[in-house]
Amino acid sequence: MTPKVLRTAAAMAIALFIGASPTLAADKLGASLPLAQGPFFTAQIYGMTDEAKKLGYDLVVLDAGGYGKVDKQVSDVENLMAQKVKAILLNPADPTSFAGVLAEAKADHVPVVGAGMPFAGTDGSVSPSHCEIGKALAEGAKALLPNGGQLAALVGPAAGFWATERWRCFKEQIAGTKIQIVAEQASEPDAAVGLSIATDILQRFPAVQVLYGADDTVGVGAAKAVQANGSCGKVKVLTAVLGDTTEELMKAGCMDYVVALQVVEVGRKSVDMADKLIKAQKLDTKDLVIPVVAVTPKNLGSVDLSTIRPPSH
């Protein structure tokens, strides 16, 4: 056999071996969220998925099925570790509940990124935190009530960490102003429930000038109540998260101030941070804050939506 034939045979064998060997599976990233529905989480998942794809990762998303299912979310993080993910993106229902499982992740050398808020035990975070959102909402209340006035609040679910934090920081931020809180009601994050409660509030407190909705579920409910009451423009509505319905209500003149979160960007940056942690690269900052965008009817047309929500289908 000539050397040329041998070389050819060897090359073919190597080519066959390479062709027969299984393609290398992409590394996995895990994401654990309290929910997978609503404008916030769908946008966050979109940002994470898109960025993970660009960086060559498979993203495994587990959602606990509700803010009340903290124990399920702890289990989800354990399940992600069992799946041997390279890093975990964690948006916790309640950050105080993850100390034990985060210690296990650390012991397994699995980096964890706080995807939505900074909290103890993580290797980094991308936020705005809920407290910062509450403060931004307070700035909105001050803008809507420059001379003070009555405000009623739909503060979101009782025992919902995000809602409690937003409301706590909102109140701290408006302390010392002439804004008077006349009512605060907890409710499930449901537009229909928000509508009922806001309707009752408007009957009980006809002098209310601003309704606070902790997010765009109860915020939409509040705006619908104002709309049904024929009070658009007279009773202002303030909320967080710019979903499609929120935008429509703002165009209709029944939503007045929205603290828009750049949720897609939060998702993307969380993945970028996880990628750097996996590759043991230096982080520019451990706790990255993505600024919120104040949206009013005046600037609605000029806001860049690409970082706020997924592209329309």
* Interface size with another protein, residues (CB under 8 A): 39
Q: Helices 191-204 and 216-228 meet at what angle, rounded to 10?
A: 50
Find the binder of another protein among 52, 81, 154, 277 (CB under 8 A): 81
CA angle 292, 290, 277 (to 5 degrees): 160
Q: Phi and psi at residue 152, in whole multiples of 5°?
A: -120, 150
Closest separation in Å from C-beta 81 to another protein: 7
Please choose, out of 47-55, 79-87, 174-182, 210-218, the segment that lies near another protein by the rule CB under 8 A: 79-87
Q: Does 78 bind another protein (CB under 8 A)?
A: yes
The Cα 197–Cα 193 span in angstroms is 6
Please choose, out of 159-167, 219-227, 250-258, 291-299, the segment that lies near another protein by the rule CB under 8 A: 159-167
Closest separation in Å from C-beta 80 to another protein: 9
User: 270: number of CA atoms within 13 Å, CB side?
Assistant: 37
Nearest to 160 by CA among 297, 68, 250, 79: 68
Contact in structure between 80 and 113 (CB atoms under 8 Å): no
Is 76 or 123 the residue whose CB approaches another protein more closely? 76
- Strands 236-240 and 257-260, by their bridges, are parallel
Q: Phi and psi at residue 22, in whole multiples of 5°?
A: -65, 145
Q: Does 63 bind another protein (CB under 8 A)?
A: yes
Q: Does 121 bind another protein (CB under 8 A)?
A: no
In the region spanning residues 183 to 242, those forming contacts with another protein, defined by CB under 8 A, are 186
Q: Does 100 bind another protein (CB under 8 A)?
A: yes
Please choose, out of 81-89, 193-201, 260-268, 303-311, the segment that lies near another protein by the rule CB under 8 A: 81-89
Please choose, out of 49-57, 64-72, 240-248, 269-277, the segment that lies near another protein by the rule CB under 8 A: 64-72
Q: Does 120 bind another protein (CB under 8 A)?
A: no
Residue 195, SS3? helix
Nearest to 216 by CA among 34, 38, 37: 38
Sequence-distant (≥ 6) Cβ neighbours of residue 242 within 8 angstroms = 39, 216, 258, 260, 261, 293, 295, 303, 305, 308, 309
Is 14 or 159 the residue whose CB approaches another protein more closely? 159
Q: Does 104 bind another protein (CB under 8 A)?
A: yes
Q: Does 172 bind another protein (CB under 8 A)?
A: no
Q: Does 248 bind another protein (CB under 8 A)?
A: no
What order of strands is seen across the sheet that includes strand 287-289?
A: 58-63, 28-33, 87-90, 112-115, 124-127, 287-289
Q: Does 70 bind another protein (CB under 8 A)?
A: yes
Q: List residues near another protein by CB under 8 A.
A: 36-37, 60-72, 74-76, 78-79, 81-84, 94, 96-101, 103-104, 158-161, 164, 186
